[in-house]
Structure 1
Amino acid sequence: MIRKVCAAILFSAALGNLATAQVQSDSTTDLETVSINLEQAVEYAMANNRTLKSNDIDLEMKARAAKYSWNVFLPSVSVSGTMSRSTEYSPSSAAMSGGLKTDFVDEEEHWAAVGTVSASLNLSLAYIWQIRAKKAEYENGKISWEQSQKDTILNIKKLFYGLLLQQENLKIQKATLENARQRMVQAQTSYKAGAIPELSLLQTQVNYQNTKPDVESAEQSLIQSLDTFAFLLGMPVGTRIKLEGTIEPKYIDTDVATLIDNYGENDLDIRALKGQVDVLKMNLSALDIATWTPALSLNYGWQPAYIGSDGAFHFYKGIGNDDEWYDSGSLSLTLAWNVTNMLPWSSNRQQAKDLKANIAKLELTMETLRENQKVEVRKAVDTLNQAKAQIDAMGRNVTLAQRAYDATYRSYRNGMTELLDLRDAEESLNKAKLGLLNQKYSYISALMDLENTLNTPLSE
């Protein structure tokens, strides 16, 4: 049972991290053992988890897009220089050569040097809403980043407690093995003294040998789980981890209605959906404004051409001499209004309808999330209440099982009880201890899920 719980937790957390993780090379086979508690594990993961580092980059990109979203108001400016060759001999070239028409014309007279400077600026009221949408996308990015952080912390905490549960199970199995060994040693002494038959000795030896493989398997499984945990934290391969902590829950009094009323809107999933709806509404407003209001376009162009007598290849000689340059330019202000976009069957209006439909879908999803949140909160509260009652009951059961085992052990030592009865009493005691630990883990896990759902540290 314990192995299945821990294996499931480790596997689920590994899926979210292995996609982006890369194994770090290590020249040594094993590093020194590192003792780590829950707070240190969370802190280390926050600093070294590769998925979180990738999310930091995504958030940085959204922040930059929001910071410079005003750049839609920057004009487009371009500068170019052109050397063009005409295949015909122009009259202007003849005039520059004194009007003499000859069969041979210098190659340079076929060329012209022209420069171009152009600037354009498009202005629309829709730009304001586009800028607001970019800033809203950044706010949504922060919510997604926060959700990723909390999911990582939740996975690390569940893994930590799952490993503690696996570790406690190993301790119980080792204690059982030690008891089996002591009974075998005692049986050997009693057999040599003639106090018990050989069959009783053989039974203790078989019991001890049968217990050893289970303990060795559990120990190896724990080592592998700790190696996986170290990898998920971002530690070098080969690091040995020693966990410091206990499975002791912090109990709280909970009420479903109060939790929903006070913390329901803190849910990051709901907040993220609200942000997405806001962004879509801004994009819809920008699209409508661009459709129903005209856009202003400003264009300016300047085109100087060299007409000096030195030829096009020597245009640099005319720099600073306005008489050897011919200037042409223009300034235009255009007010444009796309009438086609106003038609109800145009692609523009269809896009607006799609945005409205997506907004309606997100609002339905938000309602579903709110209802699902109530179900999850109710389920978590029921689990907490049930686990708390089970913890109280199993605590008493452990005490009774311990007393029963101690009495059976004394009776066995006095030769009044069979080995099978002692083993049954020991198995009942182990089940009681593991059952108590499992219920404590269930309480801790349910409380962490509830805190994650409501985005509120209830245990504090």
Structure 2
Amino acid sequence: MKKCILTAALFAAAVCLCQAQSDKDEQTVTLTEDSAVAYALENSLSIKSSAIDLEIKKRAGDNAWNVLLPTVQASGTLSRSGTSSYSSMEAAAQSALLSARVGALENALEKEGSRPLSVGDQAALYNQILGGMGYEDTESGHWTTVGNLGVSWNLSLAYIGQIKAAKADYEGGKITYEKSVRETEVNVRKLFYGLLLQQENIRIQKASLENARLRAVQTETNFKNGLVPELSMLQAQVSYENKRPEVEQADRLLRQQLDTFAFIIGLPVGTNIVLDGSIEPEYVDVDVDTLIQKYSASSLDIKNLDATISSLKDNLSAINLSSYTPALALNYSLQPALIYGLDFDRYTDADNWNDSNSFSITLAWNLTNLLPWSSNRQNAKNIESNIKKLELSREMAVENQKVEVRKAVDTLTQARQQIDAMGRNIKLAQRSYEMTMRSYRNGTTELLDVRDAESQLDQAKLGLANQKFNYISALLDLEKTLNINLTSAKNEGGNK
């Protein structure tokens, strides 16, 4: 029985271990440069926010014509008056219709030789006639139902400018969204290569730590064999122990940076990220004048300024048209009324309703807007000033673009030269380190010389990685500045 229980417990533990390992594997994500960009573009909160802004502007641009729609308003009112409508009906009984009916009855009575009707008899007869028509002196006589239907249609040439401004604003929104996507892509690519650089730095430090450990082991062996003094053994051990915290700290820093990277691109924080890539730039031959001549107009910053200027000009046109041209207004109103509003059976009979309607055409021109100091003209002047400011900003952006392009090209040239030089320097440093190690093993060189030779080799390797990163970063900046792709990998679909 105990064996069965033990077997079951071991089986359950094995299942849990497998499940834990499976969960751990599920949290491991291998990222290439392009897949990291794809994650970011899909999950970036800033891009999602920009997409919402773009959707709002698209909706406004697509429906800008709605300023031409007429305004239709319908209302209904049920009101109570202190005076009953029945009293008004008695007065109305003196009208031609009721008078004709009473007169006919009087004539009939006179023909029969009867006396004329008195005032009281006439009043009783009016009440009898009104009662026959369905009107009684009740609470419902105090209530009246009034409906109202109003249609107004305003037309102005200023609407043309407003529609154009809304569409221009949408075009500017598309450029802003594209700019947000481009910036996110460049930032993610830079972070990706920055993490690769950090990994390379840690790899070099770990290799140096392993070399220090091997030297400490070898020195301890030599000390036991009487080949080196105790001081040499202690120096080697201290050198090894001093390097361990530096490597551990670098590892912790890299894990924190990977968590930050996961958050930026939209992965759960704590995801085990494995970077699939290397810091190997794709070199391009570029010329400052050629780049500026061919691609200066492709800059998203300049396009964004152009779109904003275009939108402001359309708004200025709308204000000017509203100032210098009249507006046409068409209005129609229909007002049906029903007395005895609480007698709901009367609502279905059209004869119980009294309708009144009106139609008007108005040509209105706000002459105050023509005054130079009016609010309308002041708004126009403010827009003109903003347009001038944006035009100056555009000129500055064009000049700044030239500076940025020249700076990026200079960085590319310098980085490439440094990469070639450091490649040769690594070979020399590697040879120097190997020769120093042989001398150290033979006892003809001090440990300090070995550490110096190793430090020079590590600096050369890290310097080469740094220059490669600088080249890649400068190339990304150049592509972002001109909104172009210069490398074949991205032209084939890497930049999406």
TM-score (norm: length of structure 1): 0.90
Residues 227-246 of structure 1, C-alpha deviations (whole Å, 9 max, x = no match): 11111111112201011111
1:317, distance to aligned residue in structure 2 (A)? 2.2
1:112, distance to aligned residue in structure 2 (A)? 1.1
Q: Kindly indicate whether the alpha-carbon contact (under 8 Å) linking 1:249 and 1:440 is maintained by their aligned counterparts in 2.
A: yes
SS at match of 1:410: helix
Q: Kindly indicate whether the alpha-carbon contact (under 8 Å) linking 1:295 and 1:337 is maintained by their aligned counterparts in 2.
A: yes
- 2:66 pairs with 68, 71, 88, which one? 71
Q: Which residue of 2 aligns with 1:44?
A: 39
- 2:341 pairs with 297, 309, 312, which one? 312
Runs of 4 or more above 4 Å deviation: 28-31, 95-102
Paired AA for residue 312 in structure 1? G
1:107, distance to aligned residue in structure 2 (A)? 2.3
Q: Which moved more, 1:163-172 or 1:224-233?
A: 224-233
Paired AA for residue 348 in structure 2? I
1:406, distance to aligned residue in structure 2 (A)? 0.6
* 2:406 aligned with 1:378: yes
Q: Kindly indicate whether the alpha-carbon contact (under 8 Å) linking 2:333 and 2:358 is maintained by their aligned counterparts in 1.
A: yes
- Structure 1 gaps of 5+ residues are 1-27
* 2:361 aligned with 1:333: yes
* 2:477 aligned with 1:449: yes
Paired AA for residue 34 in structure 2? E
* 2:50 aligned with 1:86: no
Do the aligned partners of residues 30 and 95 (structure 1) sit closer, same or farther apart at CA in structure 2, a change above 3 Å counting?
farther
Q: Distance between the aligned counterparts of 2:355 and 2:139, measured in 1?
A: 24
Q: Distance between the aligned counterparts of 1:230 and 1:260, measured in 2?
A: 36
Number of residue-to-residue matches in the alignment: 428
Q: Which residue of 2 aligns with 1:391?
A: 419
Q: Which residue of 2 aligns with 1:429?
A: 457
1:205, distance to aligned residue in structure 2 (A)? 0.7
Residues 289-320 of structure 1, C-alpha deviations (whole Å, 9 max, x = no match): 1111111101110001114xxx2212542424
Paired AA for residue 166 in structure 1? Q
Q: Which residue of 2 aligns with 1:252?
A: 284
Q: Distance between the aligned counterparts of 1:316 and 1:131, measured in 2?
A: 49
Q: Which residue of 1 aligns with 2:104?
A: none
Q: Which residue of 2 aligns with 1:168?
A: 200
- Structure 2 gaps of 5+ residues are 1-22, 94-121, 128-135, 489-496
1:215, distance to aligned residue in structure 2 (A)? 0.7
Q: Kindly indicate whether the alpha-carbon contact (under 8 Å) linking 1:29 and 1:238 is maintained by their aligned counterparts in 2.
A: no
Q: Distance between the aligned counterparts of 1:58 and 1:110, measured in 2?
A: 55
Q: Which residue of 2 aligns with 1:190?
A: 222
Residues 87-121 of structure 1, C-alpha deviations (whole Å, 9 max, x = no match): 2345424347995699x953222221111111111
Q: Kindly indicate whether the alpha-carbon contact (under 8 Å) linking 1:30 and 1:238 is maintained by their aligned counterparts in 2.
A: no
Residues 429-451 of structure 1, C-alpha deviations (whole Å, 9 max, x = no match): 01111111111111110110010
SS at match of 1:245: coil
SS at match of 1:122: strand
Q: Which residue of 2 aligns with 1:411?
A: 439
Q: Which residue of 2 aligns with 1:212?
A: 244
Q: Distance between the aligned counterparts of 2:410 and 2:175, measured in 1?
A: 29
* 2:273 aligned with 1:241: yes
Q: Distance between the aligned counterparts of 1:114 and 1:42, measured in 2?
A: 65
SS at match of 2:342: helix
Residues 12-47 of structure 1, C-alpha deviations (whole Å, 9 max, x = no match): xxxxxxxxxxxxxxxx89963211110110011111
1:80, distance to aligned residue in structure 2 (A)? 1.1
Q: Distance between the aligned counterparts of 1:426 and 1:382, measured in 2?
A: 32
Q: Which residue of 1 aligns with 2:3?
A: none
Q: Kindly indicate whether the alpha-carbon contact (under 8 Å) linking 1:93 and 1:109 is maintained by their aligned counterparts in 2.
A: no
Larger C-alpha radius of gyration, 1 or 2? 2
Q: Distance between the aligned counterparts of 1:96 and 1:399, measured in 2?
A: 119
Q: Distance between the aligned counterparts of 1:32 and 1:415, measured in 2?
A: 50
1:168, distance to aligned residue in structure 2 (A)? 0.2
Q: Distance between the aligned counterparts of 1:99 and 1:131, measured in 2?
A: 66
1:126, distance to aligned residue in structure 2 (A)? 1.2
1:324, distance to aligned residue in structure 2 (A)? 1.7
* 2:162 aligned with 1:115: no
Paired AA for residue 387 in structure 2? I
Q: Which residue of 1 aligns with 2:254?
A: 222
Q: Distance between the aligned counterparts of 1:201 and 1:32, measured in 2?
A: 44
SS at match of 1:194: coil
Q: Distance between the aligned counterparts of 1:326 and 1:99, measured in 2?
A: 25
Q: Kindly indicate whether the alpha-carbon contact (under 8 Å) linking 1:38 and 1:157 is maintained by their aligned counterparts in 2.
A: yes
Q: Distance between the aligned counterparts of 2:84 and 2:192, measured in 1?
A: 87
Q: Distance between the aligned counterparts of 2:25 and 2:250, measured in 1?
A: 21
Percentage identity across aligned positions?
57
1:408, distance to aligned residue in structure 2 (A)? 0.5
Q: Kindly indicate whether the alpha-carbon contact (under 8 Å) linking 2:346 and 2:352 is maintained by their aligned counterparts in 1.
A: no
Paired AA for residue 30 in structure 2? S
SS at match of 1:312: coil
Q: Which residue of 2 aligns with 1:302?
A: 334
Q: Which residue of 1 aligns with 2:50?
A: 55
Residues 311-341 of structure 1, C-alpha deviations (whole Å, 9 max, x = no match): 22125424243x3211100011111111111
Q: Distance between the aligned counterparts of 2:90 and 2:138, measured in 1?
A: 11
Residues 250-292 of structure 1, C-alpha deviations (whole Å, 9 max, x = no match): 1111211111110001110100000011001101111111111
Paired AA for residue 110 in structure 1? H
Q: Distance between the aligned counterparts of 2:191 and 2:412, measured in 1?
A: 19
SS at match of 1:329: strand
Superposition RMSD in Å: 1.9
Paired AA for residue 431 in structure 1? Q
Paired AA for residue 161 in structure 1? Y
Q: Which residue of 2 aligns with 1:24?
A: none
Q: Distance between the aligned counterparts of 1:305 and 1:99, measured in 2?
A: 27
* 2:289 aligned with 1:289: no
Q: Which residue of 2 aligns with 1:9?
A: none
